[in-house]
Chain A
């Protein structure tokens, strides 16, 4: 075993090819492959210890064993590897004699004199069970161990390549038979070699094709990754550990009864299904996988002969498992029964596909283990564990059934990489829970079985949530009152040059409260407040609370339509009264019937303090709207007790005495609650930072620059902005992060911007759980994970990780974060269904109610909760919660939109594609770059070598001369072979060849996908011309296509190569000297010249030579074509000069339109309607689809661009031809037929943006964005809007994201103006780099083309750095176009220069120009 398999990307193909050439059976090959990967591991040892009790005649036994070895050709088999191909053969001569002699002299090892013979023997056995067997010498090892006068162990260790369980037991049978009756010769047994031959024949048996199709579909079906307990091994290893679990009689009987009740063919099959259901349930619960396969070793011995055949006949086949949310054990068992029947029906020698058994990670093995007595010897069988098994198998369950009465013995074989020691123990306990639930109540839902062990329950449920903290029952108003009484003159709010003391604030609030109370505000009323950041907003909130009512904070700068949508929703609620709307004189009135109260702060004078309303703890304190997954925003109703609980906890956590906070975020989001109330209940000051324009959260920059508060509550997006600012804060010492996942790197990036003792808290919590419900204090040395942990629940809060059925998940398994306790909101204001879905009853929670956050997490490292983001359409964009459904609903409101879908997309993965202004090649082709005019590098290069390139092409008169030579060279019946696909180009060519007086043999490859239309064209044309025609074909076309797709992501390469191979063979047979192709000039360029010209090779002799060399390499390549077709002739160098290869269009230049005209007028050629892009072939679209999907661009893009450059097509024709309308369903059918598994593109979730696709009238981006910005906050406006013909759907009816076209920011904008000055060019360069766009026009608004505040800050610092100026942020936000900024920069530079001396100015100007 010294030939490790090379791990190349094409290794699957290599494996298939090796399997085909080897004479191993499919199962043998699989094991050989596994062994080759781990040559030093005993992973395929099958060691048995047969315990023999009674008197033993050793010599008689040795003779019996020798008799078996000499009659069992599997035991005599060895495997040798040559040229990397494993070949097996039966030993002969000396080698065979040695094998039999070894058995005759079976070692006898006597432990009887040892102190503890049994232990000594056990040690010996363990050691020998793990010995590596030499495949090329003797694939078994055996010995007789004596441990007592009448106690022996016969050790027989075989390599799996030559045995399986039944074969091993058969050997035992026969040896015992020969031992019992030495005179009676052993019956001859069928030969394994014969079986292997038959198996290899069966593999190509056409009758078994339906079975193979079944397995192909099985292996191509989507399946979930199996990650047990969240452990993803860093590398695979075959080391495994066996743990035994013996069931008791009661458990065994229960399972037996259930098995019998299945009514299956045999009780064993029933039992098998029972264990498959148990294993499937267990796997589903500890991996979260719902669709996967269980590998099942099937004995494959279906007739009497194969029952007698020694050797490896067993084959591992996948049993499909699919667990649905509502499945009970019973319904799962039913499905497994049906799937088992399907599996068994398609089993059998030669019925499977090469990879059917390769993809199983869980295996279920069902043994009948016999006891027997032979000639006074009692024999019992023990299968030993060699300490290793197939590295792909993460878990194997072996079920041993001794006889009908005895209890079952289960052996769990855990791969040590997938299960560490602790998880192995845990797994057994969890399996036990599943088992007892299953046997006690078959109709209970699989996902609802309680899995947690007592220890897990203690760690994850009890100790983690040990948060009980007694707080006085109080309201935020009482806490505020205490501060008012204690220090009425202390400043409560500072807003520019206006300050407001605690006493004034209280008086103002009371005065407003009295006014509000007069207008009906009291408990049960909801008072909307639409005010920007300022003292008024603080007064209004306190005032509403003072009346006993709840407030609804609105952001007056949000789109009016969204505000009115929120107010209309509130008006439908059960609040007794909505309104009046508290706002200010200059702010807009939403389009909703609601009274308006404009607040105006004046000296309140004497206030009637008799208003004092006692708030109750379950009064609603506020309602805050968040983006809703149903498409409309939803209002979260938070009660006094929840607010008070959060604030009292936050006070203890974050403050010691008065603390000043920055009021810099919208009062309409719950993030801001912390910044408003924590100062007010500690005697601190609210420092107001006003809104600046409506482009993002730039006030955070001012907070940082002002540096006049102690604490800031902010989002990770804010932190990103701070990262790119110069300077350092001295006073800000507390940062509280909330709103979205916090990355450690972001925190580290800002550490040096704050004092060394800055405290950074990660506060996790959705609005529905009142601001924050979990807390973690960042510690730079400890927090090394990518994300900062979200920590522990806050006071009186409880956190659970649940599966979809509300059961807590075990360690490592992903679950939904659910919140219970004091912070859980009352529910949604109007949406009862949503409230019922998210606020659920759960028995675990003492309060009974839980909020399901939709966030995912898992337990790791003991009891640390790891946050894993979301699994639905909700996302945070710049800290704002965005539901794609809400964006979609707004888009759908547009009268011109009939259907739409909004997705979160990663722009890094989908570049904006532009098309070369000259040839139309897309910018995502790897070989091209674009210049500022939008012209590709190939066109530019071609301009330079046009003359040389064109000199490669020849003239029709040269062809005439060549035709003459071809005719005179003729030796056989034909002048040449014309490669005739039936497409437009080759049909035209065949006509021309005949016109030139040539007598061609037209050759067409029937690749199995030629359209009927094309075949009819071919038939008509050859008849019309009177030309002989022949179809070539191969039964291996599917393999060739699959290979071509894997190597090149297209089908054409495989097809072309097959055509060349078959036609060259044909030319040799018929003695034809020339092969003429109909490659278009573009294809000639692409396949023959592209690389040469890229390397500036223009000399025609060199080109001819290079083309021949390339042809040699091409035909001698080790691919599927080389394996399945006869390629012997290509080994001969003379071939390449003996046969003339002529590209017809090298001589003949004709525009596309003329080809069509000719075919229309002069030939009986009709464009087939069923072929998509191609004019003859049905599989072409599959290649295009795969290429686009895997490589991102069209495989015809390059040849068509050459067609354009060479004048064969116009740019528009090429673009039109590249704009395929591919029938994805049909393509997927084809891919399935040829056996090609689509490779999925991996994704990441950073830098995501919203993209909207809509079906309907053409609507300009500007119009659509204007429409949306009336309805949605700026974060929810999609960065691109793409009009499509229809929303592509997957077969299961979901939106097919891969079928959505890549967004094209540039192509959709008609108003592009290129930079006009060098300064604009440099600015455009900065923008393009930061936004990742191909080009930016000088009048493009930064925020319309995907920019937001973070890149804005980056652009500003980059510009400031580049020109050594201090570009004001405001100037950027006021006029965010390149043209405007260029003007600002220029003015600043001039200003600077004016202050300099002439000499310095001169020098600086030079620097700027030539920088």
Chain B
């Protein structure tokens, strides 16, 4: 599964509980209230466990986590340490 799908799946099942809400790859997660800081951290822990990537605290920024696309792009960049 690509990182993007992985995130999408997590948000659908764990956050939205398949409640019928749709979420797009570029939708604002934080500003629209889909995720708050606490939920993002949970997502971070999930991603670390499932992608084998360590996400240092200083990388958990608005820029990197504003949308599913942004998160996937962050994970896919070569500097993210496996």
Does B41 interact with chain A (Cβ within 8 Å)? yes
Nearest opposing residue in chain B for A337, CB measure: B57
B39 touches A302 (CB 8 A): yes
Q: Is B1 an interface residue (CB 8 A)?
A: no
Does A441 reach chain B (CB closer than 8 Å)?
no
Instruction: Give the Cβ gap from B42 to chain A, nearest Cβ, in Å.
Output: 5
Contact B16 A265 (CB under 8 A): no
B18 to chain A, nearest CB (A): 10
Do residues A265 and B61 form an inter-chain contact, with CB atoms below 8 A? Answer: yes
Q: Is the CB of A302 within 8 A of B38?
A: yes
Interface size band for A: 20 to 34
Mask: chain B, 28-42; 1 = CB below 8 Å from A; 0 = not: 001000001111111
Q: Are B19 and A304 in contact (CB under 8 A)?
A: yes
Contact yes or no, A264 B62, CB < 8 A: yes
| Closest CB in chain B relative to A252 CB, distance in Å | 21
Interface string of A328-363 (1 = CB under 8 A from B): 000000000110011011111000000000000000
Q: Which of B17, B19, B58 contacts A338 (CB 8 A)?
A: B58
Q: Once the chains bind, are B62 and A344 in contact (CB under 8 Å)?
A: no
The 3 closest A-B pairs by CB, nearest first: A344-B41, A341-B57, A269-B37
Across-interface contacts of A269 in B (CB, < 8 A): 37
| Separation of A314 and B78 alpha carbons in the complex (Å) | 38
Q: Does B5 contact A (CB under 8 A)?
A: no
Q: Is A263 a contact of B39 with CB atoms below 8 Å? A: no
Within 8 A of B (CB), among A292-322: 298-305
Given known pairs A266-B37, A268-B37, the reply for A348 and B42 (CB within 8 Å) is yes
Q: How far is the CA of A346 from the CA of B38 in the complex (A)?
A: 9
Nearest chain B CB to A365 CB, angstrom units? 15
Distance of A342 Cα from B45 Cα, bound (Å)? 10
- List, in ascending order, chain B residues with CB within 8 A of A304's CB: 15-17, 19, 21
Asked if B26 CB lies within 8 Å of chain A CBs, one says: no
How near does chain A come to B60, taking the closest CB pair, in angstroms? 5
Which residue of B14, B37, B40, B41 is within 8 Å of A303 (Cβ)? B14
Please indicate which of the listed interface residues A264, A304, A337, A342 has the most CB atoms of chain B within 10 Å of its own CB: A304
B73, chain A: closest CB distance, angstroms: 16
Task: Please tell me if the beta carbons of A302 and B37 are within 8 angstroms of each other in the complex.
Answer: no
In the bound complex, residues from chain B placing their C-beta under 8 Å from that of A263 are 61-63
Q: Within 8 Å CB of B14, what residues of A?
A: 303
For residue A106, give the distance in angstroms from its CB to the closest CB of chain B: 32
Most A CB contacts (10 A, CB to CB) among B19, B36, B37, B63 go to: B37
Cβ contacts A710-736/B at 8 Å (1 or 0 each): 000000000000000000000000000
Residues A338 and B57 in contact, CB atoms below 8 Å apart: yes
Residue of B at shortest CB range from A298? B38
Tell me the total A-B contact number using a CB cutoff of 8 A. Answer: 62
Complex Cα distance, B14 from A303, in Å, reads: 7
List chain A residues, Cβ under 8 A from B21. Answer: 304
Residues of A within 8 A of B60 (CB): 264-265, 341
Q: A304-B15, A341-B60, A344-B38 are in contact. List 7 more A-B contacts (CB 8 A).
A: A264-B61, A265-B37, A266-B30, A302-B15, A341-B57, A342-B57, A347-B42
Which of these, A300, A303, A346, A347, contacts B16 with CB under 8 Å? A303
Looking across the interface, which residue of chain B has its beta carbon closest to that of A211? B45
Complex interface: chain B residues within 8 A of A302 (CB)? 15, 38-39, 42
Whether the Cβ atoms of B17 and A305 lie closer than 8 Å is yes
Q: Is the interface of B mostly helix, strand, loop or mixed?
A: helix
- Contact residues of B between 1 and 22, Cβ < 8 Å to A: 14-17, 19, 21
- What are 25 A-B pairs with beta-carbon distances under 8 A? A263-B63, A264-B60, A264-B62, A265-B37, A265-B61, A265-B62, A266-B30, A266-B36, A266-B62, A268-B36, A302-B15, A302-B39, A302-B42, A303-B15, A303-B17, A304-B19, A304-B21, A338-B58, A341-B41, A341-B57, A342-B57, A345-B41, A345-B45, A346-B45, A347-B42
A265 touches B65 (CB 8 A): yes
Residue B44 at the A interface, CB < 8 A?
yes
A268 / chain B contacts, CB cutoff of 8 Å: 36-37
CA of A342 to CA of B41, assembled, Å: 9
- Cβ contacts B43-71/A at 8 Å (1 or 0 each): 01100000000000110111101000000
Shortest distance between the CB of A142 and any CB in chain B (Å):
29
Indicate whether A265 sits within 8 Å of B40 (C-beta atoms), given known contacts A303-B16, A305-B17. yes
Within the assembled complex, what's the spacing in Å between the Cα atoms of A299 and B33?
Answer: 14
- The residue of chain B having its C-beta at the shortest distance from the C-beta of A334 within the complex is B58
In the bound complex, residues from chain B placing their C-beta under 8 Å from that of A303 are: 14-17, 39
Chain B residues with CB under 8 Å of A341's CB are: 41, 57, 60
Please, how many angstroms separate the alpha-carbon atoms of A268 and B38 in the complex? 11
Residues of A within 8 A of B57 (CB): 337-338, 341-342
Q: Which residues of chain A are near B58, meaning CB under 8 Å?
A: 337-338
Closest Cβ neighbor of A343 among chain B residues: B41
Question: Which A residues, 410 to 447, have Cβ-Cβ distances below 8 Å to chain B?
Answer: none
CA gap between A268 and B44 in the complex, in Å: 18
Smallest distance from the beta carbon of B41 to chain A beta carbons, Å?
4
Partner of B37 from A300, A344, A346 at Cβ < 8 Å: A344
| Contact in complex: B41, A347 (CB < 8 Å) | yes
Cα distance A200–B19 in the bound complex, in angstroms = 25
Provide the bound-state CA to CA distance between A1181 and B61, in Å. 45
Partner of B30, one of A265, A300, A344, A348: A265
Q: Could you say which of A266, A298, A338, A345 contacts B44, with CB atoms under 8 Å apart?
A: A345
CB contacts (< 8 Å) of A347 on chain B: these are 38, 41-42
The CA of A300 and the CA of B19, in the complex, are separated in Å by 19
| Cα of A337 to Cα of B56 in the assembled complex, Å | 12
- In the bound assembly, the distance between CA atoms of A268 and B60 in angstroms comes to 15
Complex Cα–Cα for A344 and B41 (A):
6
B60: nearest chain-A partner, CB-CB: A341
Closest to A305 in B: B17
Chain B residue with minimal CB distance to A210? Answer: B45
Contacts of B41 in A (CB 8 A): 341, 344-345, 347
- Nearest chain B CB to A774 CB, angstrom units: 49
- In the assembled complex, which residues on chain A have CB atoms less than 8 Å from the CB atom of B61? 263-265
A304 to B23, CA, bound (A): 14
Tell me, in angstroms, the Cα distance from A348 to B37 when the chains sit together: 12
For B38, list chain A residues within 8 Å (CB).
Answer: 298-302, 344, 347-348
- Give min CB distance, B36 to chain A, whole Å: 7
